[in-house]
Amino acid sequence: MSQPAPLPLVESLLDAPLPVSGIAWLDAARQQNREAFAAGGLPDTRVEAWKYTALRALAQRRFAHGDAAAATRAVDTSTFALPGVEGPRLVFVNGVFRADLSAVDRLPAGLTLQPLSQALRGDAEPLRFVLARPALIGDVREAGDAFARVNAASAVDGVVLRVAANVKVAAPVQLVFVGAAAEVELAWHLRNVIELGEGAELSLVEQHVSGDGPAQLATLVSDIEVRGGARLHHTLLQSVAVGTNLIRRSSVRLHARAHAMLHVLELGGALVRHDLRAELIGDGARFDTRGVFMPHGRQHIDTQLAIRHQALNTASTSNWRGVANDRARGVFRGAIVVAPGADGSDASLSNKNLLLSPGAEIDTKPELEIYADEVKAAHGATVGQLDERSLFYLRSRGIPLAEARALLTAAFCRAVLDDLPNEALREHLSVMLVAQLPNA
Amino acid sequence: MNNESSTTATLRGNAGVAEVLGRSYAAGFVTDIEMTGLPPGLSEETVRQISAIKQEPAWMTEWRLGAYRHWLTMPKPDWAKLNIEPIDYQAISYYAAPKAGPKSLAEVDPALLETYEKLGIPLHERAALAGVAVDAVFDSVSVGTTFRKQLAEAGVLFCSMSEAIREYPELVRKYLGSVVPTGDNFFAALNSAVFSDGSFVFIPKGVRCPMELSTYFRINAQNTGQFERTLIVAEEGSHVSYLEGCTAPKRDENQLHAAVVELVALEKAQIKYSTVQNWYPGDENGVGGIYNFVTKRGDCRGDDSKISWTQVETGSAITWKYPSVVLRGDRSVGEFYSVALTHHFQQADTGTKMIHLGKHTKSKIVAKGISAGRSSNSYRGLVKMEKGADGARNYTQCDSLLIGKKCGAHTFPYMEVKNPTAIVEHEATTSKISDDQMFYCRSRGISEEDAVSMIVDGFCKQVFRELPMEFAVEAKKLLEVSLEGAVG
């Protein structure tokens, strides 16, 4: 889908100097991804995965590359303080690691937590498999991977997190990605590599925050490997400012009997996109996702969830809620694939949505692709309003309409937090959800 | 129908299984009849020739040429979950007709009548007993329409499309292409350029059509494509039920069928359109079979109108078909009931679109997919609630049944909602016939084949209920035949 005249966004991203690491394979991979992006360009809405997310407006902007002042920008740490989350912490500001804001001095044994830039200065070889993956380079005409290619070409930092086999990390690890207001419109990129060894356990909190100011474009690509029997609790809280465009791809691979549970709150941003892919490659693996997206104003929040069952007796459950208000648009795709031979797969997905305003829009697309017969697979999706009878019940007990609505909407969203194990965090997130509601 | 219902009855017993095993595709014979037609190839000249053979007015020729020129600029759609061998559009003959053109039903070639007799389609004296008016389309032309007189008395126009273009040009001109424009999609554009025949139905204001109308499509000639065009217009307050059936001989090469069906329902009108699609599906190795690329769309133009699609899809090597309803009038209703069965190497990508524009419009979708063998069966549907669709409602239910380890069953529903008072609900499940169900039936002495056919029948009941009686019987039987060899 290459365009005749280069789009300002593409031009500005291609103008950025290609980072040089001195590691031959990494520099080659960056070069190849840069070329693939230059050849493939941006996806338009004819590309199925971008059908409901038009990049037209974003494509007309130019973003400066890198923030020279990132290491010294003042950041209010209270913007990412969370109750129940007081463990090791890694903070990045405008794509740059900030040791002064991070907490990595007393890491428990078996936990490696360091910025990618630092990891690459040591032994880069273990990262080669992930960072030089050829998949993105593939067919250059395929524009769907545009941002992942930009990220692979330009990201110089990110998180490297490893938990050694059979290590259970008690305190939750916090990853904070801050967009701090700069003088110009800024683009930055981060690459995260996370691995839980066999039998390891980790609770992870990923946060995206940003300040008001000139618009930003951030891309984040995360690879999460959960080895045999390991358990991951991952909470993702996105509450960036309305000027921040955030495009992420997270790929989770689950080995035999591994279990990952993910809770997602998508609350902020301008154009927000999350490609969340899970592959259940080991027998007995399990993946559970819970999420809520609440676009308001003119926000556009797009979640593309794709779960692939590739082994025997794997299970996945997904429960997502969307609430769109004002002139906002919520997009959800929930695809479940059961590969040939993945007998005993049990997959269910539900996406319920509320439309609160005549200017808002919800586009949802649950998908099932089933190639094995010993399976249970079901999905459901609804778009509608609050239940009139419930509203009537509350009003008949003297609760004003606006309050009754807020109450029911809050209950609708909070359902996805029910099984979040960290109680203090769960309460905090509930309060955040309620605060986001109209009439709150 | 008589001998066919008895087949159904014997199927109940174990003795019937052997018979069914031998039957496979019963409609696969070839009628040896003298044919005339155009040589293979497609150009503006071909389009002009078709138009000339059919003695069409100049505006019609221009309409076709416009569609053809547009088609040349269009890319082939590749979004469906189908593997389609490239089609050589120059290798297809776009017009084939029995040489001795019939003047009336009495003069129809006996070989042709025999063909329809074999297929169980009452064209002649048996028609009176069946009480269904039939338009039979053989390759490119309509060979006869029954019950013309009785229908004319009620004011109903039911004839072949070629005849309608000659006899009722103003009606055709007003409605043709008004639901599916010539440039709507690749196959609709091709159809608009080269369509040869089809049925035309016009139900005037306030008339309830006195009998079921039906068209039976038959592809016979080799290397031909069938491109029929059906237009049904139901004026204010009228009512019609229309049935469509199709078969083709067994051949090793793939044949192309690209039809367009347009329905127009004005205020308070109701159209019920039922299809039993049994084009030749190819053999158990995936050789041959019809490529079925069909555009079917209904337009609920008037308030309180209703369009209901029911389809049973068992045939064709490839099915690409999305009968849709545009719910324009306030309080209009759209329905879609579908059973799609694929076996061996068949591929189906079928579903519906419900476009809600008017206030308090309602739609209901019930889709049942059954995959067996190495087949691939996808439901693809769109429910769209536009800004003006206050209080609109949709309910969708999609269930897939897998028989065997090598087939695929897929569901791709799209929901786009722009109105905060609209409600859209979608549910889908995928499962196989459970061991418990099988064990229960087997322990009561029911053979495996019969048990599968009973369970499948139950799975499809919700859709079969919507079919006119005779079609329901035929559909049930078709499923049994199509599933032959799927178990064990």
For the segment B61-98, what is each residue's pLDDT rounded down to a tens digit?
999 999 999 999 999 888 888 888 888 999 888 988 77
Report how far residue A334's alpha carbon sits from residue A342's, in angstroms, rounded to the nearest whole number: 19
- Which range (A224-228, A416-420, B107-111, B373-377) has the least confidence? B107-111
In A, residues 13-72, which contact B (CB 8 Å cutoff)? 48, 52
- For A220-246, b/e burial (b = at least 16 CB within 10 A) is bbbbbbbbbbbbbbbbbbbbbbebbbb
Average pLDDT on A364-380 reads 93
Position with higher pLDDT, B215 vs B318 = B318
pLDDT tops 80 at residue A357: yes
- Any idea of the CA torsion for B437, B442, B445, B451, to the nearest 10 degrees? 60
- Which of A355, A367, A371 lies at the smallest CB-CB distance from B408? A371
pLDDT confidence of A353, banded at 50, 70, 90?
Answer: very high
Structure tokens at B35: 């044919």
- For B254-288, b/e burial (b = at least 16 CB within 10 A) is bbbbbbbbbbbbbbbbbbbbbbbbbbbbbbeebeb
Q: What is the reported pLDDT for B361? A: 98
Q: Which residue from A365, A351, A244, A221 is spatially nearest to A293, judged by alpha carbons?
A: A351
Give the distance from residue A349's alpha carbon to the nearest chain B alpha carbon, in angstroms: 10
Q: Is A433 helix (H, G, I), strand (E, B) or coil?
A: helix
Q: Are strands A159-163 and A111-115 parallel, antiparallel or unpaired?
A: antiparallel
- Which range (A189-198, B127-136, B168-177) has the least confidence? B127-136
Q: How far apart are the first and last CA of chain A?
A: 44
Cite the beta strand spans of B61-160 per DSSP E: 96-98, 132-138, 141-145, 157-160
Q: B473 CB contacts (<8 Å, ≥6 apart)?
A: B1, B4, B5, B8
Alpha carbon B86 to its chain centroid, in Å, reads 23
Position with higher pLDDT, B108 vs A227 = A227
In Å, what is the CA distance from A88 to each residue of A186, A260, A362, B321?
Answer: 28, 20, 38, 56
Give the distance from residue B207's alpha carbon to the nearest chain A alpha carbon, in angstroms: 38
pLDDT tops 50 at residue B100: yes
- Which range (A118-132, A266-280, B117-131) has the least confidence? B117-131
Report how far residue A157's alpha carbon sits from residue A159's, in angstroms, rounded to the nearest whole number: 7
B12 interfacial to chain A (CB closer than 8 Å) = no
pLDDT tens digit sequence for B355-393: 999 999 999 999 999 998 899 999 999 999 999 999 999
Q: Is A27 helix (H, G, I), strand (E, B) or coil?
A: helix
- Which range (B100-109, B225-234, B440-449) has the least confidence? B100-109
Q: What is the reported pLDDT for A47? A: 87
A-chain residues near B430 (CB < 8 A): 368, 370, 375-378
- Which of A340, A365, A370 lies at the smallest CB-CB distance from B410? A370
If you search the block for the tokens 């009849």, which residue do you land on? B33
pLDDT tens digit sequence for B261-302: 999 999 999 999 998 888 888 888 888 888 999 999 999 999
Do residue A364 and residue B415 have CB atoms under 8 angstroms apart?
yes
pLDDT confidence of B7, banded at 50, 70, 90?
Answer: very low
Per the rule left: phi > 0, alpha: psi between -120 and 50, beta: everything else, A11 is alpha
ipTM summary value = 0.91
- Which of B406, B408, B425 lies at the smallest CB-CB distance from A382? B425
Average pLDDT on B14-38 reads 59
Q: What is the reported pLDDT for B204? A: 96
Nearest CA in chain A to B412: A367
Q: Which residue from B201, B199, B274, B197 is spatially nearest to B235, judged by alpha carbons?
A: B201
Do residue B409 and residue A364 have CB atoms under 8 angstroms apart?
no
Do residue A369 and residue B408 have CB atoms under 8 angstroms apart?
yes
Do residue B427 and residue A380 have CB atoms under 8 angstroms apart?
yes
Do residue A377 and residue B419 have CB atoms under 8 angstroms apart?
no
Structure tokens at B231: 């237009």
- Which of B413, B417, B421 lies at the smallest CB-CB distance from A362? B417
Report how far residue B336's alpha carbon sits from residue B353's, in angstroms, rounded to the nearest whole number: 9
pLDDT tens digit sequence for A132-156: 876 555 555 556 689 999 999 999 9
B239 interfacial to chain A (CB closer than 8 Å) = no
pLDDT tens digit sequence for A66-93: 899 999 999 999 999 999 999 999 999 9
Do residue A361 and residue B415 have CB atoms under 8 angstroms apart?
no
- Which of B400, B416, B424 lies at the smallest CB-CB distance from A384? B424
Q: What is the DSSP string of A236-249?
A: EEEE--TTEEEEEE
Do residue A375 and residue B430 have CB atoms under 8 angstroms apart?
yes
Q: What is the reported pLDDT for B11? A: 32
B61 interfacial to chain A (CB closer than 8 Å) = no
Please, which residues bridge with residue B159 across strands?
B200
Q: Which residue from B152, B183, B185 is spatially nearest to B167, judged by alpha carbons?
A: B152
pLDDT tops 70 at residue B16: no
Report the percentage of chain B scoring pLDDT > 90: 50
pLDDT tops 90 at residue A121: yes
A-chain residues near B419 (CB < 8 A): 355, 358
pLDDT tops 90 at residue A5: no
Q: Is A272 helix (H, G, I), strand (E, B) or coil?
A: strand
B487 interfacial to chain A (CB closer than 8 Å) = no
In Å, what is the CA distance from B76 to each residue of B188, B223, B293?
Answer: 11, 21, 12
pLDDT tops 50 at residue A228: yes
- Given a contact cutoff of 8 angstroms between Cβ atoms, the answer to whether B268 and B236 are in contact is yes
Q: What is the reported pLDDT for B23? A: 47
Q: What is the reported pLDDT for B17? A: 36
- Given a contact cutoff of 8 angstroms between Cβ atoms, the answer to whether A292 and A351 are in contact is no
A-chain residues near B423 (CB < 8 A): 382-385
Average pLDDT, chain B: 84
Alpha carbon A150 to its chain centroid, in Å, reads 17
Report how far residue B426's alpha carbon sits from residue B336's, in angstroms, rounded to the nearest whole number: 14
Report how far residue A199's alpha carbon sits from residue A169's, in angstroms, rounded to the nearest whole number: 11
Structure tokens at A217: 């474009």
Q: How many residues does chain A have?
A: 440
pLDDT confidence of B111, banded at 50, 70, 90?
Answer: low
Average pLDDT on B159-170 reads 91
Position with higher pLDDT, B487 vs B465 = B465
- Given a contact cutoff of 8 angstroms between Cβ atoms, the answer to whether B123 and B146 are in contact is yes
B434 interfacial to chain A (CB closer than 8 Å) = no
B-chain residues near A361 (CB < 8 A): 416-418
Nearest CA in chain A to B429: A378
pLDDT tops 70 at residue A386: yes
pLDDT tens digit sequence for A43-68: 989 888 999 999 999 999 999 998 99
Average pLDDT on B119-130 reads 51
pLDDT tops 70 at residue B103: no
Q: What is the reported pLDDT for B20? A: 38
A-chain residues near B426 (CB < 8 A): 366, 379-382
pLDDT tops 80 at residue B121: no
Report how far residue B278's alpha carbon sits from residue B257's, in angstroms, rounded to the nearest whole number: 12
Q: Which residue from A274, A332, A336 is spatially nearest to A310, judged by alpha carbons?
A: A336
pLDDT tens digit sequence for B185-214: 999 999 999 998 888 999 999 999 988 888
- Which range (A296-300, A391-395, B131-135) has the least confidence? B131-135
Report how far residue B178's alpha carbon sits from residue B168's, in angstroms, rounded to the nearest whole number: 16
